[in-house]
Structure 1
Amino acid sequence: MDLFGDLPEPTQVVTGKEPTQSPEESRGEKRKHDEGLEKEVTVEKNEEEKKVCKGQARLKAYVAARRGEREEMQDAHVLLPDMSSIVSSLPSQVSRLAYFAVFDGHGGARASRFAADHLHHTLVTKFPKGDVENLDKLIKKCLLDTFRQTDEDFLKKASSQKPAWKDGSTATCVLVVDDVLYVANLGDSRAVLCRSEHREDGGEKKCVTLALSKEHNPTIYEERMRIQRSGGTVRDGRVLGVLEVSRSIGDGQYKRCGVISTPDLRRCQLSASDRFVILACDGLFKVFSPEEAVKYVLNILEDTSVAVEKKEGQTEREAHHDAACQRLASEAVRRGCADNVTVILVSIEF
């Protein structure tokens, strides 16, 4: 299974259809154009370097957290628009590193808080350094190793307690390397991207919602099969009839039942067509579909008549994004979500 899937390129029209070209045709075509592609890659690389010199996407993150009807806030989040302060050195071809994450704890808040405190520090120690080739492959390995290490470190700490901690947490993390998003997620928290695309009929642009993450629950066939092969069972849509997610950080008592900490990874090149990213725990998506959440935010951003409170130092644009984030979280509670709700809105501006 390819854990490092690319999202559609910004210039493509999103149709939901997979390409029908056969593997043999693909290989033949690749051999036919190898020499030309080599030259094109060099040209594209030079063009890309020029774009970086002109300036990268400006990212600004906003967060809203609501406890809902829960006794305890078990969500945690991290906003690091500039990681340079904790990175000793970066690969020569990387000029910007940013990180945004949301963690939804269950069985307590210790796993989510541990992940929020430690995951990005572990990531920094494992991130490629110096002159490197095949940066994508190394970032993939870095993310996989980071999640594994974070899970192992928390489980070691949890098992040393008396009584042992039984907390677990989902994780949805967006690592921004220059203008590329690398999204790693476990469990049922999600990340979605709002992108403007040309209509197939050539009409005006429309905003589409692209999933940046993949949900992991034991009702999904592949997840259920892994759990059953490990000796676990799925009852009422839950692992052993208790745990709602099939991948997580922590949950030591379920690791022997096929619950793993291997994230799904996705990569997405940012473009001028991109508007914003929403990261949120399942509390939001219990009462909003991803498309509804994106539309709700767009309505606030595009309605200039909406009165918003500007905080000190905020521009009008920033105030609207902040208001959209806060109102989205509040609306989830108003719609009846009793769970904790955490929403991170990352605006994108070229």
Structure 2
Amino acid sequence: MDLFDDLPEPTQPGGPVTAARPRAGTEEEEDEKEEEEEEERRAKRKREDAESEADKKEEQGEIKKVCKEGLPVLKGYVAARRGERDEMQDAHVLLPDMSSCLSLPGQSSRVSYFAVFDGHAGARASRFAAEHLHHNLANKFPSTDSENVDKLIKKCLLDTFRQTDDDFLKKASSQKPAWKDGSTATCVLVVDDMVYVANLGDSRAVLCRMEAAADGQRRSVTLALSKEHNPTMYEERMRIQRAGGTVRDGRVLGVLEVSRSIGDGQYKRCGVISSPDLRRCQLTANDRFIILACDGLFKVFSADEAVKFVLNIVQEGSGERRAGLTEEEVQFEAACQQLASEAVRRGCADNVTVILVSIGFRAKSSSSSSSQHTQFD
């Protein structure tokens, strides 16, 4: 039953005022004419309602087709190289399923977490973030159903980064002498099939998505999932200068290469903040893998080169078979290790840490889902 059938036709407020015209016929004729017009309006409204209902059913049908793809199956692989540095200052975390650590809202069934932390002036900030950030995230993760889950997760991530930074700064300042360590952070949080990326500094995350080309072949498309923060960027430089800091030789006070970080207590008064850039992207059956890496990789690889390097190894299937691993797992493991080694071979003297997250779907549908790739408002 249409709930609006019994409601009167809405008036049109604010329309032009016209002068009253004399009635052309008898009152009975006019009444009959008005009744006919009213019937026509009701019939038109019913047709529009029927069309709207049909559209809703069609949309629901599309949603059901999308859901047939199932939840993505994620597996993480990591490779770390010290390079020419005296110390490995990178840290990383792989939690393909951290659902048991969370009180999930009713509509969610699985949460995955992957993160890379690139330390500077020491390894204490990166190791602290690797040990504590996901625990803070678990404590703050929304546990109630909500129509606006994106907004809740956004707040959760912002609060998580702020608390992790505050906790480290308190610990650092209590030491004698005070710790001066800092760290970038690139975290990928996957809630069912939605990816949320929180990023500080110059580590990066990129997604490999396969799309059909004009010749009928499938081509890889590289999607940036993160935004770098360095003092040469206009908005970053303006914030630093407003806080009383300076940018010299592309660095904060001529020293710090990044404009956002965890730690770096001596630069917080100069506009260096711990608020991450937040982005989200819905996974589809066309997605193959995500690369998370510190800037050591991207100093010698473009994002597109890194994606094609991994894709070539995975497609060639040149990895050695290992007990307990499927052929695909062997290929992704080999691709991850070879990508990190190639970065060192190309002359990167910095630490190199690469996390490769493979994406698969147990059940696929011929209908491709609509994707989102947006930045939070």
Shorter-chain TM-score above 0.5: yes
Partner of residue 157, structure 1: 171
Please give the alpha-carbon distance, in whole angstroms, between the structure 1 residues aligned to 2:303 and 2:282: 20
Partner of residue 93, structure 2: 78
* Aligned 1:216-227 pairs, distance under 5 A: 216-227=229-240
Q: Check 1:334–1:141 CA distance in 2 against 1; reply closer, same or farther (3 A cut).
A: same
Please give the alpha-carbon distance, in whole angstroms, between the structure 2 residues aligned to 1:41 and 1:143: 34
Please give the alpha-carbon distance, in whole angstroms, between the structure 2 residues aligned to 1:266 and 1:63: 23
CA-based RMSD: 2.1
Q: Check 1:36–1:137 CA distance in 2 against 1; reply closer, same or farther (3 A cut).
A: farther
* Aligned 1:96-245 pairs, distance under 5 A: 96-199=110-213, 201=214, 203-245=216-258
Partner of residue 329, structure 1: 340
Q: Which amino acid aligns with 2:123?
A: A
Partner of residue 27, structure 1: none
Q: Which amino acid aligns with 1:237?
A: G
More displaced stretch, 219-228 vs 53-62: 53-62
Partner of residue 247, structure 1: 260
Q: Check 1:143–1:271 CA distance in 2 against 1; reply closer, same or farther (3 A cut).
A: same
Shift of 1:311: 2.9
Please give the alpha-carbon distance, in whole angstroms, between the structure 2 residues aligned to 1:217 and 1:206: 32
Runs of 4+ in 1 over 6 A off after TM superposition: 35-43
Please give the alpha-carbon distance, in whole angstroms, between the structure 1 residues aligned to 2:260 and 2:190: 23
Shift of 1:84: 2.1
Percent of residue pairs identical: 76
Please give the alpha-carbon distance, in whole angstroms, between the structure 1 residues aligned to 2:307 and 2:126: 25
TM-score by length of 1: 0.85
Q: Check 1:36–1:86 CA distance in 2 against 1; reply closer, same or farther (3 A cut).
A: farther
Partner of residue 312, structure 1: 323
Contact 2:112 2:189 in 1 (8 A): yes
* Aligned 1:243-322 pairs, distance under 5 A: 243-304=256-317, 306=318, 308-322=319-333
Contact 2:69 2:285 in 1 (8 A): no
Shift of 1:40: 6.3
TM-score by length of 2: 0.79
Please give the alpha-carbon distance, in whole angstroms, between the structure 2 residues aligned to 1:74 and 1:310: 32
Shift of 1:229: 0.7
Q: Which runs of 5+ in 1 are unaligned?
A: 1-32
Q: Which amino acid aligns with 1:192?
A: V
Shift of 1:203: 3.9
Q: Which amino acid aligns with 1:58?
A: V
Q: Which amino acid aligns with 1:153?
A: D
Secondary structure of the residue that 1:262 maps to in structure 2? coil
Please give the alpha-carbon distance, in whole angstroms, between the structure 1 residues aligned to 2:335 and 2:360: 16
Q: Which amino acid aligns with 1:332?
A: A
Please give the alpha-carbon distance, in whole angstroms, between the structure 2 residues aligned to 1:273 and 1:132: 28
Please give the alpha-carbon distance, in whole angstroms, between the structure 1 residues aligned to 2:333 and 2:311: 12
**Could you give the per-residue CA deviations for residues 39-97 of structure 1, whole angstroms, max 9, x where no partner exists?**
9678757864775576311111100001111111100000000102322x110000110
Secondary structure of the residue that 2:206 maps to in structure 1? strand
Please give the alpha-carbon distance, in whole angstroms, between the structure 2 residues aligned to 1:68 and 1:341: 7
Q: Which amino acid aligns with 1:271?
A: T
Secondary structure of the residue that 1:326 maps to in structure 2? helix
Q: Check 1:125–1:42 CA distance in 2 against 1; reply closer, same or farther (3 A cut).
A: farther
Secondary structure of the residue that 1:268 maps to in structure 2? strand
Secondary structure of the residue that 1:164 maps to in structure 2? coil
Q: Which amino acid aligns with 1:294?
A: V
Partner of residue 353, structure 2: 342
Shift of 1:283: 0.3
Q: Check 1:44–1:347 CA distance in 2 against 1; reply closer, same or farther (3 A cut).
A: farther
Please give the alpha-carbon distance, in whole angstroms, between the structure 2 residues aligned to 1:331 and 1:40: 52
Please give the alpha-carbon distance, in whole angstroms, between the structure 1 residues aligned to 2:134 and 2:53: 35
Between the two proteins, the alignment pairs up a number of residues equal to 313
Q: Which amino acid aligns with 1:251?
A: D
**Could you give the per-residue CA deviations for residues 175-215 of structure 1, whole angstroms, max 9, x where no partner exists?**
0000010000000000000001233x464221010000001
Q: Check 1:41–1:169 CA distance in 2 against 1; reply closer, same or farther (3 A cut).
A: farther
Contact 2:99 2:109 in 1 (8 A): no
Q: Check 1:44–1:221 CA distance in 2 against 1; reply closer, same or farther (3 A cut).
A: same
**Could you give the per-residue CA deviations for residues 231-284 of structure 1, whole angstroms, max 9, x where no partner exists?**
000000000000000000000000000000010011000001101000000000
Q: Check 1:262–1:240 CA distance in 2 against 1; reply closer, same or farther (3 A cut).
A: same
Partner of residue 4, structure 1: none
Q: Which runs of 5+ in 2 are unaligned?
A: 1-47, 362-377
**Could you give the per-residue CA deviations for residues 110-155 of structure 1, whole angstroms, max 9, x where no partner exists?**
0000000000110111111122221011011111111111111110
Please give the alpha-carbon distance, in whole angstroms, between the structure 2 residues aligned to 1:38 and 1:222: 47
Please give the alpha-carbon distance, in whole angstroms, between the structure 2 residues aligned to 1:269 and 1:315: 26
Q: Which amino acid aligns with 1:276?
A: F
Q: Check 1:36–1:195 CA distance in 2 against 1; reply closer, same or farther (3 A cut).
A: farther
